[in-house]
Amino acid sequence: MQGIKPIIRDFLAQELNSPSFKIKRLNGYDNVNYLVDTGAHKYVFKTYVFDQELFDLLEAENKVLQFLQEENNTDYPACIPFKDGTYLKIIKGENSAIACRMLSYLEGDFLGDMGHDEGLITSFGEYLARLDLKLQGINNYTLKARKFNWDIQYLELNKPYLENIADPKRRRLVKYFMLQFDEIVRPVFSELRQQLIHNDANEWNVLTTNNTVTGIIDFGDLTHSFLINELAVAMTYVMYDKDDPVTWAKVLLKAYHQILPLEEIEISLLYYLIAARLCMSVCNSAHASRQHPENTYATVSEKNAWQLLHRWLKINPIAFENQLRKTIGWEPKKAQETVSVKSRRHQHISTTYTLSYHQPIHMVRSAFQYMYDAHGNTFLDAYNNIPHVGHSHPAIVEAGQRQMARLNTNTRYLFDHLARYVEKLQAKFPPSLNKVYLVNSGSAATDLALRMAKFHTQLEDIMVMELGYHGNTQTAIEVSDYKFNNPKGLGIGQHILKTEVPDTYKGAYKSSDQNAGIKYAQDAIKQIKEHPRPIAAFIAEPILGCAGQVPLAPGYLKALYPAVRAQGGVCISDEVQTGFGRMGDHFWGYEMQDVIPDIVILGKPIANGHPMGAVICTDTIATSFEKGVEFFSSFGGNPVSCDIASAVLDVIEEEQLQQNAKDVGHYYMSQLKALMARYPSIGDVRGAGLFIGVEIVQPDTLDPNPKLAKHIKNVLRENNILISTDGYHDNILKSKPPLCFNKDNVDTVVAGIESVLEIGDLKFEIGN
């Protein structure tokens, strides 16, 4: 529309019968508006690039404004007729045509310029409800047929704009809420009240006088939609620059509801509708920035929208709904009591399925590093390493949903997903590890790896690590000292050789000894030589999880692996907990030791919690194994598992989660070590990346202090922070969060631990 302003001036001069008027361009999103001041009157002259569909919508909007004028001619813009009595004109330029119309100018201060208080927001809620009551009297088929991307019911129209969001971490957040909308809101569309709504009651469209809302402008987003969307939009803009957004949502809701009562289902969806509106806002801002980077008006609210969207993730949807219900005098929704849920669980499920914490948690939903319980609490998850890239990550969910709807079968059939995933996975390993076997758990992977090792070497004995853990199958338990050496365990088998944990904190060789790893390896080599039979394999985790996140001493595997191989065995690295970038500096834990194993075991995070595992080995071992009986796994390598696992690798790369594990992990360690310097109950802080252990001890003796460790864990749980304890004495706090964990989350956990230690040291040092 360049060069059109002289034409507009000429047109207005004729229409106003006056050459002496002032014209000023106003801010606009996707059309150009002007303030026209004749001295006697002010008008808003609105211009649009001509399009027949848009022209029809403008006619419909004019009819709505004319209807509203019948009842009140000051609250809403009035349509000003041109000389010929029409309300819409087309002005033709040399190369373009514009549609134009004239509206009355409403005086007042924008809501966005005013300091908000309860009285003003109450006035806003009442005003909006009265407007919606009036709009119920209009049935316009043009607006009823309107389908556009600023109507929450058509949230999906914004999906093409997702790729305009440059930051993949922000993009995943929007995708998450879009998926929640599809799951929770879309199925109940038919149950929601529909009518004409203004649909854009933002702070720059609402006018105030003397701390009271007196007008609303810009009816350009008028649409026939769900009534509750009107309130969702208004709530979004009232909240998004507030430190306590829910408080302001309640004020607006109460006022609106007193004038136009809402239904239960409408209030139950507000959490997701607000999130949807925020998603629409950031999507459109990103698109506008890409299309018209010079138009800053289009992105003016983007910062606030992102801020609220991130904050929204921390709010349990149940808590939000119940706060709204209380505000309007309704009883909150009550969840089933945890005791009852636990009792039902144990009716048919053995108590050997243990529960975490003194007070078990009844979980119902999760998102990235947050989990939501049935009672409205949001928990920061600093514990679960299985949802590797984050709980309910949209890329993972979509991959599973998409493939589950197409094909899921076993590997006796040909399908591209298997080869495609295996190629992607193998690319993360050195060339010597070039054969992949897919199973359905880390335990099954351990079982298969040991079977392969024994068949390849024609040996039976296995060397294992003290306090090691490798799974729940019988074979896996036989090589897991953490299980077989338990007071309830069956004890060590005759074919098992156990070696000492190369622990440089409490072991024989300390971290101050640069050769500690080599000395531990020499002790293990001596055991091998003294053992009556050669060993088929040595299996170990690079950092022992159940031992309390104990890293193998530097140089340990480098010295030990050659000795294992020299006597005929193979070396197995259990990467179930340490793999896929969790170490930060390394993608696989064995890389910390500058070695390459013969067999690698994968599980847990490989598919973000979907049941899957893998064994990766050398071509030589695979060739040997092929001489035995056929290997087959009913579920291992199925198309759904392959696509989910492939999505995990994509997310790690796209969101740079290994780098995040490195950066946040280093920060986490530094904060915990600073805590250790202040509190003698912390004996050691160890680990790598986002796989960290904190040893809790008696300050004077450095003896394990499991009582304090458990106390810290349970107090954090009471404060909605999830960690766990482990180790032989159960005195090590362990934190292995999803890789999307951030530094703010670290600060929350560390502050939580410190708050306990401030009184905990004194309390537990005296033996309680």
- Domain of 297: which CATH number? 3.90.1200.10
Q: How many domains does the chain have?
A: 4
Q: Round to whole Å and give the CA distance between 316 and 327.
A: 17
**Would you say 582 and 739 are in contact if contact means Cβ atoms under 8 Å apart?**
yes
Rounded CA-CA distance 657/652 in Å is: 5
Q: Does one domain contain both 638 and 511? A: yes
> Six-digit token pair at 685?
């802080």
Q: Residue 296: its pLDDT value, please?
A: 62
Q: Do residue 18 and residue 117 come from a single domain?
A: no
Kind of pairing, strands 550-551 and 535-540? Answer: unpaired
* pLDDT value for 308: 96
Q: Which domain holds residue 68?
A: 5-104
Q: Are residues 623 and 671 in the same domain?
A: no
d(C-alpha 373, C-alpha 361), whole Å: 7
Look up tokens 């159940």; give the residue. Answer: 546
SS3 537: strand
CA distance 96 to 498: 84
Based on the domain organization, do 636 and 720 belong to the same domain?
no
Q: How would you classify the pairing of strands 194-197 and 89-92? A: unpaired
* Within-domain flag for 271: yes
Last residue of a domain, one of 654, 687, 713: 654
| Residue 418 forms part of a structural domain | no
pLDDT at residue number 97: 86
Domain assignment present for 81: yes
pTM: predicted TM-score of the whole model, two decimal places: 0.93
Task: Answer yes or no: do 304 and 445 share one domain.
Answer: no
**Per-residue pLDDT tens over the stretch 443-484:** 999 999 999 999 999 999 999 999 999 999 999 999 999 999
Asked if 695 and 736 sit in the same domain, the reply is yes
Q: Taking the CA of residue 396 as centre, how many other CA atoms within 13 Å lie in the half-sphere pointing to its CB?
A: 23
CATH number at 735 reads 3.90.1150.10
Q: What is the distance in angstroms between the CA of the first residue and the CA of the last residue of the chain? A: 79
Cβ distance 142 to 56 under 8 Å? yes
- 175/203 same-domain check: yes
* CATH number where 58 lies: 3.30.200.20
The answer to whether residue 237 is domain-embedded is: yes
Domain of 607, CATH number, reads: 3.40.640.10
Note the pLDDT of residue 764: 47
C-alpha 716/C-alpha 749 separation (Å) is 8
Q: 3-class DSSP state for residue 584?
A: coil
Is 115 inside a domain boundary? yes
Residues 123 and 89 grouped into a single domain: no
Domain membership of residue 410 (yes or no) is no
**Burial (CB count within 10 angstroms: exposed 0-12, middle 13-18, buried 19+), residue 302:** middle
**Where does residue 85 fall: left (phi above 0), alpha (psi -120 to 50 degrees), or beta otherwise?**
left
pLDDT of residue 15: 81
The answer to whether residue 728 is domain-embedded is yes
Helix orientation angle between 657-678 and 743-765, rounded to the nearest 10 degrees: 30
Q: Is residue 122 part of a domain?
A: yes
Eight-class DSSP state of 181:
I
DSSP characters for 598-652? SEEEE-GGGGTTSS-EEEEEEHHHHHHHTTSSPP--SSTT-HHHHHHHHHHHHHH
The answer on 115 and 91 residing in a single domain is no
Domain final residue pick, 104, 119, 143: 104
* Residues shown for the chain: 768
Kindly state whether residues 135 and 187 are assigned to the same domain. yes
Bridge partners (DSSP) of residue 543 are 551
Q: Which residue stretches of the chain have pLDDT < 70?
A: 1-4, 28-29, 71-73, 94, 294-300, 760-768
Domain match, 583 and 449 both: yes
Does 645 share its domain with 693?
A: no
In this structure, the dihedral spanned by the alpha carbons of residues 180, 183, 186 and 192, taken in order and rounded to 10 degrees, is -90
Which of 104, 126, 161 is a domain's end point?
Answer: 104
